[in-house]
């Protein structure tokens, strides 16, 4: 687990973002245990308080859950998992739209280009995961 943090967004927000990406990409599975906050702080090289804050927010969002004294786990709630995926996609698309709009690219041309590039990239990676 190695994350390059930027200095202008809150670190805990970036940590949550990182978890969401992992979940959306299927690298973290529903019900999987997450590292303790101490472990997470060590692995990501962040202050243990920040790790704590990120977990607290994630717990509030329902992204992770804790049963009794067991380690926290990724939620099995399909609705939340779906929402995460959707949120990330939406975010990416919005960013993308902002930048293509800034150069006044026409929609159909852009869509065509997306399809082409997307396929190229998938073929290049050998379609390692879907």
Q: Which residues contact 51 (CB under 8 A, 6 or more apart)?
A: 15, 37, 38, 40, 41, 44
Q: Is 38 in the site for other proteins (CB under 8 A)?
A: yes
> Could you say whether residue 47 binds other proteins (CB under 8 A)?
yes
Query: Helix or strand or coil: residue 82?
Result: helix
Q: Which of 16, 41, 63, 84 binds other proteins (CB under 8 A)?
A: 41
Q: Is 2 in the site for other proteins (CB under 8 A)?
A: no
Q: Whole-angstrom Cα distance, residue 10 to residue 85? A: 21
5 binds other proteins (CB under 8 A): yes
79 scored as a contact of other proteins (CB under 8 A):
no
Residue 69 interacts with other proteins (CB under 8 A)? no
Site residues (CB under 8 A) for other proteins, limited to 48-67: 48-50, 53
Distances (CA, A) of 28 to 11, 68, 118, 127: 20, 22, 24, 19
Which residues form the interface with other proteins (CB under 8 A)?
5-13, 38, 41-42, 44-50, 53
């Amino acid at each position: 687990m190695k994350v390059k943090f930027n200095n202008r967004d809150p670190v805990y927000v970036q940590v949550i973002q990182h978890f969401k990406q992992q979940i959306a990409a299927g690298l973290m599975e529903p019900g999987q245990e997450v590292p303790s906050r101490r472990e997470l702080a060590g692995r990501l090289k962040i202050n243990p308080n920040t790790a704590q804050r990120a977990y607290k927010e994630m717990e509030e969002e329902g992204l992770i859950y804790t049963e009794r004294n067991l380690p926290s786990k990724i939620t099995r709630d399909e609705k939340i998992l779906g929402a995460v995926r959707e949120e990330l996609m939406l975010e990416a698309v919005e960013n993308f739209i902002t930048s293509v709009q800034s150069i006044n690219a026409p929609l159909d041309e852009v869509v065509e280009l997306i399809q082409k590039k997307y396929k190229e990239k998938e073929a290049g990676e050998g379609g390692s995961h879907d």
